[in-house]
Structure 1
Amino acid sequence: MKLRYFAFLICLMTTFQGYSQTTANRKNPFLVEKNTVVDYAKVTPADVDDYAKHTLNAVKEMITRIKKEPTISFDNVFGSMDEIKNKIYTTSNNCFMMYWVSTDSITRAKGLAGYQLLDSLSTSMYSDKDIYNKMLKFKASPDYGKLKENRKILVDDMILGFELSGVNLSEDKLSQYKTLSKEINELSTNYSNNMNSAKDILTLDNKGAEGLPEDFKANYKVGDHYEIPIINATNETVMGTASNEETRKAYYTKFFNRAADKNIDILDQMVKKRDELAKVMGYPTYASYATVTRMAKNPQTAWSFVNDLISRVREKAKADVVLLENEKKSESKGGAAKLEPWDIAYYKTQIQKRQYNVNNEELRAYFPMEGCLKGMFDIYQKLLGMQFKKVQNPSVWSPEVEMYEVYEGTKLKGKFYMDLFPRPNKETWFYGVNIVSGKGNEFPVAMLLGNFTRPTKTSPSLLSQKELKTLFHEFGHIVNMMSYHGEFSSQQESKADFTESMSQLFENWIADYNMVSTFAKHYKTGKPLPKETFDNMQKAKKVASGIGTIQSLQRCVYDLNLYDKYNPEKPLSTDQLWKDIDKQLGVMDFYVPGTHYQANWIHINTHPVYYYGYLWSEVYALDMFTQFEKNGLTDTKTGMRYRELILANGTQRDIVKAVEEFLGRPSDNKAYIKSLDL
């Protein structure tokens, strides 16, 4: 999942504070020349605070210069605004990253405060009528018609960004917009803080731990019992292997109740305020407002896309429910047995073991993190014409963080960090995160933030197939960021409902034995993963695939309902909404009374009206992959075309045209429909 900090700066907050000088007698690690590495190990809370205020002061001076400029040209309006955007972007990303990953609580707090400080400045800037009027005057001039494609796109997008930030509102409505933006950001931050700081464990005796892998149990053994933390890194193992149904139910209930005591109310307020903000802006719903800049353009298109997929997948999902329910009945020796949500992963695993001799937990032994990273790097390097060189003894925020430089031949192209394992108070999800955009001759800098299975006392980090897929996906975002070499920072990121496609495409490489066999080797014996086992793994992935797809669509429908069907006169319970969607889908009761999935779901918090974009993007990803199927999965020529036409594009040219040029034809959904295996 790629984090987008500035979606036209909708969710912004706080008032700005005064400028402070750098900490006395000490150089601030952030205040370095362009393309100079930040000395993260030396960063103090005071450095973060000063860095944000230093940028605020510099940006205010830059804004003043634009407004005083007597002439109006592309360079002194739009070029200058892009320089400002880039300065804010880099500082905000660094501050927010410190909030997510720093091991020091005060540094985390200062990182969040610095991000909010610059958001407040951005709110004021993007509603500045003097700058906006200069933009409009340029667009009305003959010089606008002379612009080449990417510059014309920049002008149009920047003007739209101002308009979506309330520049044309009356003074009263603009004040409402700013207040709502601030309140939404405060709520969103509190939601994330609650989710990331949630700590719960499931205590099991030997009976409760039946079925769990021995290495897994050993890692969490405390005296004569086991204490399993309720985190992403343990979820897949517990839900897929615990043979005791009460254990699965207890873990499931705890997992989907993280932060529920606080976040249910926060979500209710956030949905209400986003609806109010949309109406202040003149849109009927928040979804209408949020999709203006997307490929879909409006929520109706997103709804049509999602409903069409539901109609295609529903019957397969129903058949999968019968399949899993029969497996449960068989295990209970013919007794009545209803399939429950906490059973899905377990009985899918049981069928995979019985029919295909595939044990996903045992297969982890063939996928140690170190070997997977090397194999993945080899594939990406060959395909994209890049080289990744590990930096020895880098200055980082945690000792386990690694740093790499990216080269094309002898030319340095960018740098990225890898922070792969969970630790207390770290952001709990998986992201490819931008730090520096990489405009012009500036190197892009990024970070892969993960929460993969940690090494234990007896074994290295061993990845599940789901984690391997996540690794290839998130690193796809990293090479996307490393590929950009455009003229403007503002055009580095693609549209929100296309951006996932560029990394989803790379997931296909782990479905090919020739690729996987280069790195899938048993961590103890060094023996490669057998071809027969791999073939069975691919067949096993199809077990209950319809349920997996319908659950993704369920979340799409939920997200769209929250932000496109909200009625302030009769606000619907966010728990009741799950029940209503279950009835609408007619597959099974996925909702478990007493659980609150929406209380710990990052997307509806920080990425509203985003979830449909995963499936929308996948249509493009699988279509683009057909070129690699045709030309070879390590064909550098095809990979370089993909890198230059798609990864490096951002929004420099129309995405549909770029995809058509890469494919040599208009895009279609044939590959995606085939992938559903209906």
Structure 2
Amino acid sequence: MTALEPLVLPAVDGDWEEWLDARCGAALEAAAALRNELVAAPAAEALDLWNRLGIELADIFAVASLIAQVHPVEAVRQRAEGFEVEASRFRTGLMLDGEVYAVLSSVETESLDEGGRRVLEHSLRDFRRAGVDQDEQVRERLRAIDEREVELGQAFSRGIRDGRRTTVLPASAIEDMPEDWRRAHPVDENGNVHVTTEGPDTVPFMTFSTDAEARRQVVTASLNVGWPDNDPVLKELLQIRHEHAQLLGYADWAAFDAEVKMIGSGPAIARFNDELAADSLEAGERDLAVLLERARRDDPAIERIDLANWRHYAEVVRREQFDVDAQEVRRYFDFTKVRQGLLDVTGRLFGLTYSPVEDASAWHDEVTTYDVSLDGEPLGRIHLDLHPREDKYNHAAQFDLVPGVLDTQLPEGVLVCNFPRGLMEHSQVVTLFHEFGHLLHHVLAGRHKWIRFSGVATEWDFVEAPSQMLEEWAWDADVLATFATDESGTPIPADLVARMRDGEEFGKGFLARTQSYYAAVSYALHVERPDDLTARVNELADAYQLIGPIPDTHFHCGFGHLEGYSSGYYTYKWSLVIAKDLFSAFDPDNLFEPGVATRYRDLVLAPGGSKDAADLVRDFLGRDYDNKAFKAWLSREPKASR
């Protein structure tokens, strides 16, 4: 058998538009031909043709969605967005195609293996959820709605990507900032410095600057990314999603969306979120009172901890009460060492080998590429695009480049983040481990015959669990000692890591309430579709978030998860409950113990979407998952060192 080869990308300065035309255009033509072949084929061949058609479409969406977010040339991004629209239009028509549905419906399940039956069952369900059994008038409206949803989703993401802001501040505002941060922000000819809304600028500034007014200006800019352009875009997106759901017989978009998730129903989202908010209230109020008491020692007039001062006073409390100085901690997290450490840790944990591909082409010079192998066999390829730049996706996420299919194509994934090029905050290290968990899931689950099972193909409210669990390795002293060293090569001390863990657990209650606020925003906006989005978002902040809001800001316009997660942001905490339970199977004194890691790799990650998530967890734990580990973590009070 001929070995599979990775996708060949153009050079940085190559003709990416021509390459997109060839890659995506050819796949669209192949998909159309396969559709025609499928409707004329005997039922016995239908599922194989359906799978091949799915591969072509998945290839288009993977490339187009990535390049639309990361390529530095606007014309290339626009071309990629155009293919997203074309592919979405084709997919919508396909899922409303009665002839295709009829052929698949005629497939005899007795002749299929377990995987084939699962593919067929889920595919027929998707046809019904698309509206294939509706009358022609409804189907036509659904076609128009699907296309408009794609356009609005792209516009919303573009509004965030292009809506970056910069705050101009006097040089005095950065006097207390870390030295490397100050070097990266030189004072201009007018005696000012410029702080952007990018994470490597904003997070350290909100943590270390002692200038309260400057912090307020910076956080205000961050909370207004996408405003005002994204407000009408989001309002229309909410309305059109609601119409979509109601045309199919659902009460609202949340009910439609939740039907195929672990949670099962829209109202269950609200119940779960409110239970989580109630469980975290006591711990949240306790820790917030500590912050307020400390803040009033600096300014007796402070009435409430808000979004302009919580991060700063959390750092002060951790430094004074937990003996954790984030500036001291940063010394141990040089980006280059962290990146290599991440590869070393996950390679050792899961038996993987990462081989640098020095001559690999990509869309930018800072992208690094590695071939991944398991037991000497090629597994896939990963690309790491980890630093901010103009016109690039400005959050952190894993993107597919190629979905893996057994004996057909190797999986390739891309990590797109915005980390500093020098020293990192430990929270950024945790984020890197988290996002890399998605990348591992994509690559390890890339050896299925059925495209339906490839990669991170589980229920959407489970996909964060493996990534959240991998965060634990970024908190273990023995693990960190393998790569977290200062300039002299001295590893981070174990007692400092212990204090960091206690300091991190300080605040988990009020941060859990913030997550409940985000989940409430994503759910309520889709169910209620208020005329004044800002007013309703502010009401939800008062109801859920213990940290005070900032007046005259518009968080919802920059809340990118409203595009991808729609009404389902609750999934982060739902997944965290499962992640804590999964982690309970590991020995906290030996996180590199190979037996349990291999079982986890093979029973949870590698199966992709071939089983329901609850079954994957049961296979690994030997029981149904529960919330005991999560509740124990939430209720545990951190121990101050002084």
Contact 1:497 1:617 in 2 (8 A): yes
Partner of 2:209: 242
Summarize the alignment of residues 43-82 of structure 1 with structure 2, pairs less than 5 Å apart: 43-69=15-41, 71-73=42-44, 76-82=45-51
* Aligned with residue 87 of structure 1, among 49, 56, 59: 56
* Contact kept? 2:477, 2:493, Cα under 8 Å: no
Whole-angstrom CA distance in 2 between matches of 1:544 and 1:53: 50
Which residue number corresponds to residue 608 of structure 1? 566
Aligned to 2:640: none
- Inter-partner Cα distance in structure 2 for 1:560 and 1:605: 12
Alpha-carbon distance in structure 2 between the residues aligned to 1:80 and 1:592: 54
Contact 2:604 2:617 in 1 (8 A): yes
What 5-or-longer segments of structure 1 have no aligned partner?
1-32, 456-460
2:531 aligned with 1:561 = no
The alpha-carbon deviation at position 630 of structure 1 amounts to: 6.6
- Kept in 1, the 8 Å contact 2:28–2:87? The answer is yes
> 1:300 is aligned with what amino acid?
P
Task: Deviation per CA, 1:185-208: give whole Å up to 9, x if none.
Answer: 111111111211123211111333
The offset of 1:309, in angstroms, is 1.0
1:21-36 matches, cutoff 5 A: 35-36=5-6
Residue of structure 2 in register with 1:592 after alignment: 550
**Alignment of structure 1 residues 371-390 onto 2, 5 Å:** 371-390=337-356
DSSP-derived class of the 1:207 partner: helix
One-letter amino acid of the structure 2 residue matched with residue 438 of structure 1: G
Does residue 428 of the first structure (1) align with residue 403 of the second (2)?
no
Secondary structure in structure 2 of the residue aligned to 1:77: helix
Give the aligned residue type for 1:469. Answer: V
Q: Kindly report which structure 2 residues correspond to 1:437-456, keeping only aligned pairs within 5 A, or say none.
A: 437-441=403-407, 442-453=409-420, 455=421
> Percent identity at matched positions?
21
Secondary structure of 2:35's partner?
Answer: helix
Q: Deviations over 1:309-363 (max 9, x none)?
A: 111111221222221111111112x455432221110111111111122121332
1:97 alignment partner, one of 62, 66, 69 = 66
Name which of 461, 468, 483 aligns with 1:497.
461
1:661 aligns with 2:619: yes
Which secondary structure does the structure 1 equivalent of 2:434 belong to? helix
Matched, 1:624 2:603: no
* Alignment correspondent of 2:150: 185
* Offset from partner CA, 1:46-76 (integer Å, 9 cap, x none): 331343222221211111111111x212xx2
**Residue number in structure 2 paired with 1:391:** 357
Indicate which of 407, 429, 435 corresponds to 1:468. 429
1:390 and 1:57 map into 2 onto residues whose CA distance is: 34
Q: C-alpha deviations, 1:418-468, integer Å up to 9, x for none?
A: 111011101111111112221112311111111111x2xxxxx21111110
Q: For the residues of structure 2 that align with 1:359 and 1:572, how far apart are their CA atoms? A: 45
The aligned counterpart of 1:279 is 246
Q: How does 1:356-375 map to 2 (within 5 A)?
A: 356-375=322-341
2:164 aligned with 1:195? no
Distance 1:578 1:57 in 2: 44
Inter-partner Cα distance in structure 2 for 1:196 and 1:112: 14
Partner of 2:320: 354
Match of 2:450 in 1: 488
1:573 to 527, 532, 536: 532
Secondary structure, counterpart of 1:367 in structure 2: coil
Instruction: Check conservation: 1:372, 1:520, Cα contact below 8 A.
Output: yes
The Cα of 1:210 is off from its aligned counterpart by 3.8
| Partner-residue secondary structure (3-state), 2:229 | helix
Q: CA RMSD in A?
A: 1.8
Structure 1 residues 589 and 538: CA distance shift in structure 2, 3 A: closer
CA distance in structure 2 between the aligned counterparts of 1:408 and 1:316, rounded to whole angstroms: 43
**1:122 and 2:81 correspond:** no
- Counterpart residue number, 1:167: 132
- Aligned 8 A contact 1:417 1:447 in 2: yes
User: Higher mean Cα deviation, 202-211 or 554-563?
Assistant: 202-211
State the TM-score, normalizing by the size of structure 1.
0.89
Question: C-alpha displacement at 1:239, in angstroms?
Answer: 1.0
Q: Residues 257 and 597 of structure 1 are in contact (CA less than 8 Å); yes or no, is this contact kept in structure 2?
A: yes
**1:151 lines up with 2:116 in the alignment:** yes
| Superposition deviation, residue 578 in structure 1 | 2.5
Within 5 Å, give how 1:205-216 maps onto structure 2: 205-216=170-181
Choose the corresponding residue for 2:501, options 538, 541, 545: 538
SS where residue 421 of structure 1 aligns? coil
Q: Is the 8 A contact 1:494 1:649 kept in 2?
A: no
Counterpart position of 1:269: 236
Q: Is the 8 A contact 1:631 1:638 kept in 2?
A: no
Using the alignment, how far apart are the partners of 1:68 and 1:308 within structure 2?
A: 52
